């Protein structure tokens, strides 16, 4: 069994949340380690930014495993100030395999939420608990029920707009 912040495909090696995000980010475009740190800082509203001592060894490890490669050093005839990285085909396949098990990973994160609540107590509004319950139901919804579910959620959204 992997830890709560480890993600893997059924037969694949477990990856940390940070490693998974690096693969995800590089799947969108070539980036330097600095670019990735700034991107995470923005996504977390500065609540967490990986240190250089965490991110750069991870980038080297992902490179050693053949999941990423350094991008070409020149950009329009000029040398780049920072080393950029690109996702390899193996990296893209690894990311795809992990994403294929997203329902299991969503369930894992729901358990993580329960752990945080047990440690720190309720820190959200009661409405957030209802949203998490709804999210759990949505994650487990059979494909054939999705159109009905979407209609219910849109109706709920529209009703909430009337309240605000």
Residues 12 and 66 in one domain: yes
Full domain range(s) for residue 133:
102-163
Among residues 25, 35, 41, the alpha carbon closest in space to that of 84 is found at 35
Residues 37 and 118 in one domain: no
Look at residue 110 in the predicted model and tell me its pLDDT: 73
Please answer whether residues 87 and 95 qualify as being in contact, where contact means their C-beta atoms are separated by less than 8 angstroms: yes
Within a domain: residue 140? yes
Q: CA torsion 22→107→103→46, rounded to 10°?
A: -30
Residues 27 and 91 in one domain: yes
Average pLDDT over residues 69-92: 81
Mind listing the pLDDT tens digit for each residue in 121-157? 766 667 777 887 888 788 788 889 999 999 999 999 9
Domain boundary among 83, 99, 115: 99
Residues 68 and 111 in one domain: no
Residues 94 and 108 in one domain: no
Residues 107 and 67 in one domain: no
Domain boundary among 99, 117, 135: 99
Please answer whether residues 4 and 105 qualify as being in contact, where contact means their C-beta atoms are separated by less than 8 angstroms: no
Look at residue 1 in the predicted model and tell me its pLDDT: 40
Average pLDDT over residues 23-41: 96
Residues 10 and 70 in one domain: yes
From CA 85, how far away is CA 89, in angstroms rounded? 13
């Amino acid at each position: 069994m992997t830890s709560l912040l480890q993600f893997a495909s059924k037969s694949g090696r477990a990856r940390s949340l940070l490693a998974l995000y690096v693969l995800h980010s590089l799947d969108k475009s070539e980036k330097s380690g600095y670019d990735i740190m700034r991107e995470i800082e923005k996504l977390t509203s500065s609540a967490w930014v990986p240190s250089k001592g965490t991110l750069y060894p991870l980038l080297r490890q992902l490179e050693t495993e053949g999941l990423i490669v350094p991008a070409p050093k020149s950009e329009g005839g000029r040398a780049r100030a920072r080393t950029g990285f690109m996702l390899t085909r193996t990296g893209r396949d690894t990311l795809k395999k992990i994403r294929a098990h997203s329902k299991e990973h969503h369930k894992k994160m729901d358990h993580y939420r329960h752990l945080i609540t047990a440690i720190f107590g309720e820190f959200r509004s009661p409405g957030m608990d209802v949203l998490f319950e709804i999210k759990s139901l949505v994650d487990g919804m059979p494909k054939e029920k999705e159109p009905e579910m979407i209609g219910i959620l849109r109706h709920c959204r529209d009703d909430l707009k009337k309240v605000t």
